[in-house]
Amino acid sequence: MKNRYKFAFLCLGILLISQSAWAQFTVTGTITDASTDEPLISANIFHQPTGRGTTTSADGKFSIELPGQNATLRISYIGYIAKNADVSASNNQINLALEPDVANLDELVVTGLGSSVKRENLANAVSSVNADELVGSSPAQTLSSNLYGKVPGANISSNSGAPGGGISIKLRGVTTINGSSEPLYIVDGIYLSNDAIANGSNAVTRAAGGGSASNQDNPVNRVADLNPSDIESIEILKGASAAAIYGQRASGGVVIITTKRGSGGKAEFSASQSIGFTTIQNKLGQRTFTAETAEASFGEPGLALFNEAQAQDRFLDYEELLFGQEGVLSSTDLSSSFGNESTSFYVSGSLQDDEGIIETTGYEKQSIRANVDHRFTDKFKVAVSSNYIHSESNRGLTGNDNTGTTFGVSQTATPNFIDLRANENGVFPDHPFNTANQLQTRDLFSNNEDVNRVLTSVKANYEIFRNAGNLLSFQFTGGVDFFSQNNSLIFPGDLQFERISPDPGTLVETNTNNLNTNTVALLVHTFTPSSEITLVSQGGYTSFNNDQNIVSTVGVGIIGSQTNVDQTNSQQINQTRVFQRDRGFFLQEEFNYDDKYILTAGVRADKSDRNGAVNEFFYYPKASFAWNLTNMDFWKNDNVGNLKLRVAYGETGNLSTFGAKFSSLGLSNIGGFNGVLINNSRGSEDIQPERQREIEAGVDVSAWQGLANLSVTVYNKNISELLLSRELEPSTGFSFEQFNGGGLRNRGIEASLTLNPFQGENLRWSSTFNFSKNVSEVTDLTVPAFDVGGFGTSLGVYRIEEGESATQIVGFDPAEDGSGTTVTQLGDGEPDFRLSWFNQLNVAKNIDFSFLFDWKKGGDGINLTELLSDLNGTTNDYDDTDLTFPDFVNDAAGITDDTINGVKRLSLLGVSSRQFVQNASYLRLREIGLYYNVPVSALSKISSGLRGIRFGVSANNVFTISPYRSYDPEVSNFGNQPISQGVEVTPYPSTKQYYFHFNIDF
Amino acid sequence: MKKINYHSLIFPLLFIGFSFMGCNVFDIEDRSDPNNTELGGVIQNPSRADIITLATGTESSLRTDLRIYHINLGMVGREMYRFLAAEPRNTQDLLGGGQSTLDAGAFYTTRPWAAFYASIRNANILIQAANTLQGGALSDAEVQGVTGFGNTLIAYEYLMALNQMNENGIRMQDPTDPEAVGPLLSRQEGFDLIISLLDNAATSLSNAGDAFPFTLSAGFSGLNTPSTFRQFNRALRARVAVYNEDYEGALNFLGDSFIDEAGDLTTGAYHIYSTGGGDQLNPVFAPPQSGAGDSWINHPSFVADAEDGDNRVIGDKAILRVDEDGNPNPATLDGLTGSYGLFVYKTQTSPFPIIRNAELLLIRAEANINSNTPDFAAAVQDLNVIRNAAGLDPYSGALTQEALNDEMVRQRRYELYFEGHRWVDMRRFGRLDELPLDRPGDNVFESFPIPESENVGS
């Protein structure tokens, strides 16, 4: 009897034990949008202890199997406030509604190398741009052009209208004079190379005199390679107070880009096609000639050609002939996200084919991406991102030159009464007034840039230890960025300017290989001793390596139509190599008391072989404090949902340019023997990074349940140890050296106001104003005032002078009392302010309408295109009299208000430079888009697998209002420059784009 | 569930991590310039090849900015005009037009100075590197050769600077410390420095064996071994001696030089030029018939004061300017006029003399005329060699010191025309007031200022 009971109890016991060990329950439910009651598709359901997760289907439903008897699930969706739900075997049916997170309070923002916090608790002014804001309204050609007007404090300016890129982003004013001013770009943990490599066209254009490499080759900076539609979100750390933890590469700010990742759950597939055309933004027009003016400007040959043209009634519009192509734009994107609870994939491919407004120019890009996330165990997960990009751009030949060969310079020498077109045999006539016929150059010459790029990163996250109040994990990130850029320029011997050379025909081949590798290894410890206190400590090591090799060969004397550079009469070769090794350590502590007080402190130690002492560490501390008043116990006001005061301080560095620390010997040959001769710049053995110290303070308010959200930040940036060049006593044998000295200061304010006046079912409207203003001053200069950028005082030049704005433009102007010519400040490159207005509307649930206005007030440029046109007598307003100058200027130049514009401006040469310094303000409608989403009900009738169909039209740069007297107030002949952005010499004209879009999601 | 040993996973991860970073985990290597030869390496760890390229580079560097130097001396010495419409300072500053003075910040003051001192620095690096190699890749004799070569060229460059700066003196360069700023020397201290360098170099060259470890260019053909290069050194020493009025010394030094009254007047040391890759072209070559806005013109007095029959003048160093119809076409700029185009250097690869036989004969004549024990007959002999070559009859003037000095100065003027001597000569003979002033308000300057960037005032 006893044995039977024992056996029964044993069986029961086993049964019970196995019940508890193997017990599972299934939870099902529906997730909806609290404001519209519509089901939320692809919302995330996540069970943290086991790491299991799923997503909701097209009708908002989900089902998940969980172990044990009860659990807490976290339900989240981008743009909505996440919620926790307690479920159990008995309570396994939940229907939840998620509130839209209009104030983005729950959004996670990166604050350290290994952690992020909710925006609600963030102590810095970090701007975020999500995928929808980035490309949802009207996608532009490259990443940087999609950021206009969306980041307060960012001064974004494109260098020309040439297809393929070439855009500068400066955050919070000018941070350096001789260093690099662009921000650090990090994509999925990879430190991206943003170099702009010159293509070598200077060998023919001689823009920079002599055959040296020049930044007047209109280069593309390589961030243009990224595919904007792969991007999930972008966070921008604008100043040292936020970016300090990135140390000595972060003075220009940090742009952190995260690409899309798969979500475990149902497989999704998305395809979109955009097709459109591009056209010139702003035509300037040509001068209307008469027989008299033709002879006055072009002499007897001009008169003869004018009469010929008049007899045939053949006056040509050269802007139309050269810039008149309506280039076809096409972009195809395919992407898919699939996986299961442990592995998820995001795969995408993209094909872009854009023509330019000049025939033979254009931009093509092919990109393929695979992002894989795999969770090996509960504790170990790995994320791999890999991207291959191939791009090819043909950017023509524009900008400055000293040989008359670029399209733009040739165009300024072209009156409308000559005929430069090819005859019926395809032969072009010589330009009667210039060394080059721009139509011939356009058709026969080629400028091709071919880039192959691979971006790969691996992120591993291992949970070392976890218990109730402790979580210690180890994170490792490794990134590789390799690109190979091949520039091929062919100037055939038939070109007008090549035929007169002793060696007709020029070939330029420039090959660049660039490799960046970086790693971050860190430990993060989260300690929650009580429900109110959270401490996040992190510390680790980072490394960065860069190697670059540029070999440029110029061959003159082409044989037939052969384009190999070794089959030319003579070659000249230049090679430049660059390397960099950076190592650093960092430590950071975050303390959060009940989401009321959030305190952070940290320090970064960096060393680099750009410094004279390669193994010396430089320390960059940071500290910040945020106070969430609305979370305080005393806060009773329900109207204000979030009120936060914040203050932050940080220091970053900016490394010296490569070569500053070397004393080197260059070549000096005699009689066939090779010799070396000391260069006149002495290396600075104690060169160190510039140091930026920034303090920022701000307030964030969110009121009336997210109806209005205001964020205001003021900042003060001081830069010391500026990299400058000083003259040495030449009797030492050296004339210059670079050194650290001098100081620069920027002060400014950024404000962002988002209004959501309507959040109802039939109308949703979100409107954002972004405002920023920055003022700079050179606070300390230990060398005499010097010029940076521009072509000399007589044409207007940027000058660094103590006590003045860093971006001041000086030039000649007559003294008001008539005593002669003085050098005086004529303008400033810094805008008075920038204001943008971005609107997204959703009407009747299915129609999306958005538009973005971008207003830059103030900020001057130096327009030399007008000068070249005047010197040739071809400016469109040459014969008008509407341009006026003050009386004292008229007197000094011997002109009156009735003198014609062309003669007026030419008379000012040497007397005044004010005609070149022009107001480059503009109001521009950057993006406008109208889309229709086929309703969900209609979709399910077509096919059950369809999640969405969307089609629409959009346009970029539709109109511009600006007093600037040329193609585009946004221009830079010298490419991306810290100070002298905004000098114009016959650029590739800027364009506008019109698109039709179609998008289908499965 | 099986408990996973967390700790055992950390180390493989860290290992993967660190191996990803490569060998240079923490320490950074201090690498040198990948694009050029770096100075540090050449001084601390030179090779024999470095010595050779430094020596060639030093010889090549003697030519830097010679155009500016010779325009300076040629215009102030009223030998020629450099008309360039884009550079008015040539015809204003250099001639003292109106209120103009010589500007301590202008290119004509600063660039030749910087060029001389860069050569001096290169030679100092050469000597320093050679001494580091002593007992190694270079034999002791070769080190002596390099030292003698270097110091001779350093002395020559100091002499060029002193010729230009004159009473304002020169600065001594610290031979081994590129950051140190050396002392300012007076004119006489400058000569003392030059003399000591030349004499030390001569001693080194006597102990330098049969050959230099490097090869000099064709500009030094016949003077490219230690013993023959020493002759070049002694020739320079003789020039410096007469600058210092040390006439007995000059005669001694000439005895050790390459002087040869029976030899070619053009024998000597030259800067050479070629169209080869990386090489330079003669900077003062220009076709004699060119537009007035960009031309090189003989000073009218050069032709006006010439002796009849002197074949060095019209048709040789002065070519009558004519237009396409053959009519005279004088060039005029800024109130100055000249009818003859300067044509001393006939092609873009014509060499430029450093010191040649003709000058040595004239130095010997000068020494014989002015020494404590003058030998007028010997002086006339040397002067006649010069006159003969110029197609002139032998000297038939008085045999007095005054008359012979006048003849010697005249022959120096016409023989060494536009070789950088006239202004220096007229200055040291106290005859600057004999130089013609073309326009009212013009001046003849005696010295160029020390460049502003030398900070001697502060």
Nearest to A667 among B30, B278, B453 (CB): B278
Contacts of B63 in chain A (CB under 8 A): 670
pLDDT attached to residue B23: 44
> A462 to chain B, minimum CA–CA distance in Å?
8
Tell me if A602 sits within 8 A of A587, measured CB to CB. Answer: yes
Q: Are A118 and A104 in contact (CB under 8 A)?
A: no
Contacts of A818 (CB under 8 A, 6+ apart): A888, A891, A892
Separation in Å, CA of A675 to nearest CA in chain B: 4
Beta strands in A781-908 (DSSP E): 786-790, 797-800, 808-814, 821-828, 833-843, 847-857, 860-863
How far is the C-alpha of A682 from the C-alpha of A686, rounded, in Å?
12
Q: What residue type is assigned to position B454 of the chain? A: E
Q: Do A734 and B455 touch (CB under 8 A)?
A: no
DSSP string, B200-263: HHHHHHHTS-S--SS---GGGTTS-SHHHHHHHHHHHHHHHHHHTT-HHHHHHHHHTTT--TTS
Inter-chain residue contact A671 with B55, CB threshold 8 Å: no
DSSP class of residue A444 equals H
Chain A with chain B: Cβ pairs closer than 8 A:
199
pLDDT of residue A40: 79
Nearest CA to A793 out of A881, A884, A916, A901 is that of A916
Least Cα distance to A450 among A482, A484, A480 occurs for A484
Three-state secondary structure call for residue A550: strand
Q: Are A560 and A494 in contact (CB under 8 A)?
A: no
Distance, in Å, from the CA atom of A266 to the CA atom of A944, rounded to the nearest integer, reads: 13
Residues of A in contact with B68 (CB under 8 A): none
Which pair of tokens denotes residue B286?
């220009």
CA-nearest residue to A378 within chain B is: B4
Tell me if B60 and A380 make a contact (CB, 8 A cut-off): no
Write b or e for each residue in A867-885: b if 16 or more Cβ atoms lie within 10 A of its Cβ, otherwise e. bbbbbbbbbbbbbeeeeeb
pLDDT at B72: 95
**Residue with the two structure tokens 């230690």:** B226
User: CB–CB of B279 and A735 under 8 A?
Assistant: no
- Backbone CA torsion sign across A902, A903, A909, A914: negative
Mean pLDDT of B171-186: 93
Token pair belonging to B21: 């970073």
Cα distance between residue A970 and residue A983, in whole Å: 9
DSSP at A186: E
Name the burial class of residue B160, with classes exposed (0-12), middle (13-18) and buried (19+) by CB atoms within 10 angstroms of its CB: buried
Residue B2 Cα, gap to closest chain A Cα (Å): 12
Contact at CB, A730 and B114, closer than 8 angstroms: yes
Q: B211 CB contacts (<8 Å, ≥6 apart)? A: B145, B225, B226
d(C-alpha A265, C-alpha A259), whole Å: 19
Q: Can you tell me whether residue B310 is helix, strand or coil?
A: coil
- Chain B closest-CA separation from residue A980 CA (Å): 26
Q: Which of A572, A579, A615 sits opposite B31 (nearest CB)?
A: A579
CA distances from A941 to A39, A88, A766, A945 (A): 17, 36, 31, 10
> Could you tell me if A23 and A67 are in contact, meaning their C-beta atoms sit under 8 angstroms apart?
yes
Partners of B5 on chain A (C-beta within 8 Å) are none
* Residue among B32, B117, B178 minimizing CB distance to A730: B117
Q: Between β-strands A847-857 and A833-843, what pairing exists: parallel, antiparallel or unpaired?
A: antiparallel
A99 half-sphere exposure, CB direction, 13 A CA radius: 11
Nearest to B28 among A609, A672, A730 (CB): A609
Q: How far apart are CA A272 and CA A270, in angstroms?
A: 7
Q: d(Cα B186, Cα B166) in Å, to the nearest integer?
A: 9
Distances from the Cα of B330 to the Cα of A514, B94, B299, B319, B321, angstroms:
59, 21, 12, 11, 6
- Among A581, A665, A669, whose Cβ lies nearest the Cβ of B278? A669
* CB-side neighbour CA atoms (13 Å) of A644: 33
Q: Are A506 and A554 in contact (CB under 8 A)?
A: yes
| Beta-carbon separation of A671 and B218 below 8 A | yes
- pLDDT at residue B367 tops 80: yes
**Mean pLDDT across the stretch B96-114?**
89
- Over residues B180-221, the pLDDT tens digits come to 999 999 999 999 999 999 999 999 999 999 999 999 999 999
pLDDT of residue A4: 61
Could you tell me the CA-to-CA distances from A41 to A76, A101, A848 in Å, in that order?
11, 16, 18
Q: pLDDT at residue B374 above 70?
A: yes
Tell me which amino acid residue A755 is.
Answer: L
Are the CB atoms for A546 and A609 separated by under 8 Å?
A: no
The C-alpha atoms of residue B413 and residue B386 are separated, in whole angstroms, by 12
- Nearest Cα residue in chain A from B10: A464
The two most distant CA atoms of chain A are separated, in Å, by: 133
Asked if A175 contacts A719 with a C-beta cutoff of 8 angstroms, the reply is yes
DSSP 8-state symbol, A17: H
Residue A212 pLDDT: 46
Which of A384, A544, A670, A729 is most worth mutating to test chain B (most B CB atoms within 10 A of its CB)?
A: A670
Q: β-strands A681-682, A736-740: how paired?
A: parallel
Chain mean position to CA A944 = 40
- How distant, in Å, are the alpha carbons of A134, A236, A396, A929, B136 from that of A150? 8, 11, 31, 16, 67
Between CA A421 and CA A424 the distance in angstroms is 10
Instruction: Identify the segments of chain A with pLDDT beneath 50.
Output: 1, 11, 13-21, 210-212
Instruction: Please tell me the distance in Å from B436's CA to the nearest CA on chain A.
Output: 34
Sheet holding A93-98, edge to edge: A61-67, A24-33, A93-98
Q: Is the pLDDT of residue B279 over 60?
A: yes
Assigned token pair, B32: 């040198």
Q: Which of B81, B106, B67, B102 is nearest to B420 (CA)?
A: B67
A730 → chain B, closest CA residue: B114
d(CA B424, CA B443): 16
CB B41 within 8 A of CB B32: yes
Question: Among candidates A646, A785, A806, which has minimal Cα distance to A727?
Answer: A785
Whether B296 and B307 have beta carbons less than 8 Å apart is answered as no
Give the gap in angstroms from C-alpha B72 to the nearest C-alpha of chain A: 19
Q: Are A354 and A329 in contact (CB under 8 A)?
A: yes
Tell how strand A860-863 and strand A847-857 pair up: unpaired
How many CB atoms are located within 10 Å of the residue A840 CB? 20
Q: How far is A685 from chain B (nearest CA, A)?
A: 11
pTM, two decimal places: 0.84
Q: Which one-letter amino acid corresponds to residue B238? A: A
In the prediction, which pLDDT does B10 show? 47
Cβ burial, residue B103 (10 Å; 0-12/13-18/19+): middle
B74 or B291, which is more confident? B74
Q: What percent of chain A has pLDDT over 70?
A: 95
Residue B271 has a pLDDT of 96
User: Mutation test of the interface with chain B: which of A513, A668, A727, A735, choosing the one with the most B Cβ atoms within 10 A?
Assistant: A668
